[in-house]
Structures are given as C-alpha cells and as structure tokens.
Amino acid sequence: MRSIETARLSPYVAALNGLNEDKRLRCLKPRVGIDFASNDYLALGSDPRIKKAVIAALEAGTPVGAGGSRLLRGNCEEHEGLETEAAQFFGAEAALFFGGGYIANFALLTTLPQRGDLLVLDSLVHASIHEGARAGRAECRIHAHNDPQSVEDAIRDWRTKGGAGRVWIVAESLYSMDGDFAPLEELVATADRQDAFLIVDEAHATGAYGHQGRGLTAPYDRRENLIVVHTCGKALGAAGALVTASGILRDFMVNRCRPFIFATAPSPLMAVAVREALLVLQKEPERQRRLAKLVSFAHREITSLGLRTPSTSQIVPYIVGDNAHAMRLASALQARGFDIRGIRPPTVPAGTARLRISLTLNVGEADVRAMLDALVEVTRGSF
C-alpha cells in the first residue's frame, strides 16, 4: 500500500524537488526580528483604537462569523455600515466588501468584463489580476509596464482585427514588488479617449497616499468608468477589500458575481476593524506624514550608501538576480535581527530575484539606518 501512495504523490515530489534545485522552494517562517517585511505601513495592525472597537463590538453582540453568504443571513449591519462609510470616504457612489484583495480582483475580472470585451493588463499587475483575466470571458492583452502608449497600441491592434466590445484597462497604482507608481493621469486620459473602463488596484497606496489616505485615485473620484480596489489588510491593518464603483456596477456584482454570491461573508468584526481604521486615517493624518518622512529618510540614506533601487516609495526592492544569492542575503539579514524576505520567480520576472524591503511605522530612522548598514555589510561579504 505504501508504494501505491508513494506513486500517487511522486509527481508532487518531483515538482518540489525541481523547485528546490532551482532555489525556489518556499516554506513558512515565523515573524522574527525588526519588521521590514510586512505591509502594515501605518502600524495599524496592533493599534489600540482598532482593538478597542472590535472588543466593544464583541461585547455588544456582533458575531465572529457571518454564518452565510451576504444574500442569505450573512448580510450584517456592520458590512452595510462599512460600505456606506467607505463609499463616502473614497468619493465613490458605492462600495462592496470582499474577504480579501485577491478574491476582490478575481471577482471583478470574472464578472464585469463580458465576452467580446478586451482586458489590457500591465505586465506587472498582481497574480490575482492575471488569474481573474484567465478565468474570465474577455480577451486579454498584456502591455509593457507603465507604458501608456503600449496600452493604446494594444487597443488599436485589437480593434483593427475586429474587436468591437468594451475595453477594460487594469493597473496597480503602486506596484508591490518594484515600488514604482502607475502613470494614472495618462491611464485615465486613455480610458476616456477609448471609452474604456479603468480598474485600479490601490492595495499598497490606500492609507499611505492621497488626502487622508484615500489613495492615488482620489483626484479621479466619482468617475463612472473608474473601479478601484482598496485592500484592507495592508495600511488599514485589518483584512478584506473594498471595491468602489458606480451603484449600477455594484448591483451587477451582487447579482452576477459568483465569488460574492457563493462565499460566506467576511467576519462582521473585520468590517468593524476596517471602519475604525478609516476613522483613524481621518483623525490621525500625522501617521501618513510620519511614513512619508521615513520613506524620504530611507531613500536619502540609500543614495548616500551607493545602493540602487528603482523605487521612490515605501516598497524598496534590492535586485539581486540569482535566486540562491537572494535567499542567502535574506538569511544573513535575518540573522542580524532584520525581518527581510527574499522574493523569487514567478512572483517577480526570471533573473530579478530580490530582497523586498518594506518601510512601515513599526520601525524608526535608527532601525532603517542599522538595516541599511547591515545590507551593505552582507552584500560586500562572501556570498
């Protein structure tokens, strides 16, 4: 019997061995050392105000679990209260709360674009967007990263070949692995010119950028052709994701979006946490200013040390190239007390394995300086 079981598992063993040989085998590791790995940019993950709000909700009778989908008994006043306030906060007509950013992106792209439509994706958008595009009905084209002309070229080529449906342009406002910003003004103009919808994933910008943390799409709010995903598990310190859009598109998703219809609703307690996080953003703008100051300090230090990074944001990639080398550097920094993780393909393009250094309010300037000194030390060592 054992040999039969081994035979059943052999393809998976071979795949794992292949990943190991390529230095791409992943494993789960605990939190260790000073936080340079999380996306808790405003340090709201352990904020006492959010804890207090959740405890108060529990004591008032808010259930831990929703107990069903939103269209059954799982629709709670906490969900609806969050969605109402979030729509107002982000300057949208309506909002819809999902369990996470991955499922929100997947839900959007498998629901709104229809057969005969065209999806135009930036080459570096998140895996959830690529997966949603593959599972959806629309034709898909990938364009060069942060290149608005490449978007126009893809649309023109599609239409020349007979494409006649709606165009959906998809981008991240701040890219999670390179730390660079999308040319949103140009993308908005392209969407208007092409009578297209623009979907923007604000995962790493919500809370950190824009007036009161409303994100980089804030100057374009209340546009009928703009759909935005605001992840709640990063700078907002909670979990889930809010999709902001027109009321018509929200209603369409409630009626046609399978990941929404057939999933148990997010915990009402998480809706409470996110709602409180939005209040913190409004009442404590100094958090955003402190993060901006820390980011400026870090990039000045990076320049002075002769290090190079393509980023100007709180996401600081240190490109290494070789998979094994990147992981050795990460281990060396972890041994020195800094929680920095190595990132390898397919999360990033082949040959661009890197250290992903994340700047959050969980650290101060002294921590940043010490981490960069350690980075210089280990990169100049015998690795």
Which positions are catalytic? 39, 126, 172, 176, 201, 204, 234
Burial class (CB in 10 A: 0-12, 13-18, 19+), 353: buried
What are the Cα distances from residue 254, in Å, to 51, 65, 98, 119, 287?
Answer: 30, 20, 11, 22, 35
Cβ distance 229 to 203 under 8 Å?
Answer: yes
The 8-class DSSP code of residue 346 comes to T
Considering only CA atoms, which of 194, 256, 205, 261 is closest in space to residue 228? 205
Cβ distance 109 to 129 under 8 Å?
Answer: yes
Considering only CA atoms, which of 256, 240, 237 is closest in space to residue 248? 256
Cβ distance 214 to 278 under 8 Å?
Answer: no
Q: In the numeric block, which tokens belong to residue 280?
A: 């913190």
Contacts of residue 227, defined as CB under 8 A and 6 or more positions apart, other chains included, come to: 108, 112, 197, 198, 199, 200, 243, 244, 245, 249
The 8-class DSSP code of residue 46 comes to T
The 8-class DSSP code of residue 265 comes to P
**What does residue 182 show for φ and ψ, rounded to 5 degrees?**
-75, 150
